[in-house]
Amino acid sequence: DAEITQSPRHKITETGRQVTLACHQTWNHNNMFWYRQDLGHGLRLIHYSYGVQDTNKGEVSDGYSVSRSNTEDLPLTLESAASSQTSVYFCASSVSRNSGSSGEQYFGPGTRLTVT
């Protein structure tokens, strides 16, 4: 069955370190997204991609980067981890409808990141 996976599921890192969170989907979806979820803020979009070599900034992109070298993967890098980046991170993927709007978006299991 097609799925979307994230690794690691839990990560503890120190302030200032570079961290990369992996996201891999076998849906063959063009669109991939990274969100963070914090109490009181709901889901916030970090970066997204509509296809290979395409990346776009979301509403909370500062301190994060992504690259898309193939259809299946969209790794998220925290350039220099900060305590404010302690959060739960979700990856998601979807197809686009003919109208350009999003089709159904499916989420990975999440990565809980703690920055000490």
Partner 1 sequence: QKEVEQNSGPLSVPEGAIASLNCTYSDRGSQSFFWYRQYSGKSPELIMFIYSNGDKEDGRFTAQLNKASQYVSLLIRDSQPSDSATYLCAVSSTLGRLYFGRGTQLTVWP
Strand partners, 64: 78
Distances (CA, A) of 109 to 3, 56, 79: 10, 22, 23
- Of 16-24, 65-73, 74-82, 105-113, the segment contacting partner 1 by CB under 8 A is 105-113
Binding segment (CB under 8 A) for partner 1, from list 19-27, 60-68, 71-79, 107-115: 107-115
Residue 8 binding partner 1, by CB under 8 A: no
Rg (alpha carbons) of the chain, rounded to whole number? 14
Reduced to 3 states (helix: H, G, I; strand: E, B; else coil), residue 85 is helix
Of the candidates 96, 57, 51, 97, the residue with the CA atom closest to the CA atom of residue 74: 51
Closer of 83 and 98 to partner 1 (Cβ): 98
Nearest residue (CB) to partner 1, 54 versus 62 = 54
Q: Which residues, 26 to 65, sit near partner 1 by CB under 8 A?
A: 31, 33, 41-43, 45, 48, 50, 58
The whole-angstrom separation of Cα 23 and Cα 87 is 16
Task: Give the interface with partner 1 as residue ranges (CB under 8 A).
Answer: 31, 33, 41-43, 45, 48, 50, 58, 90, 94, 96-97, 99-110
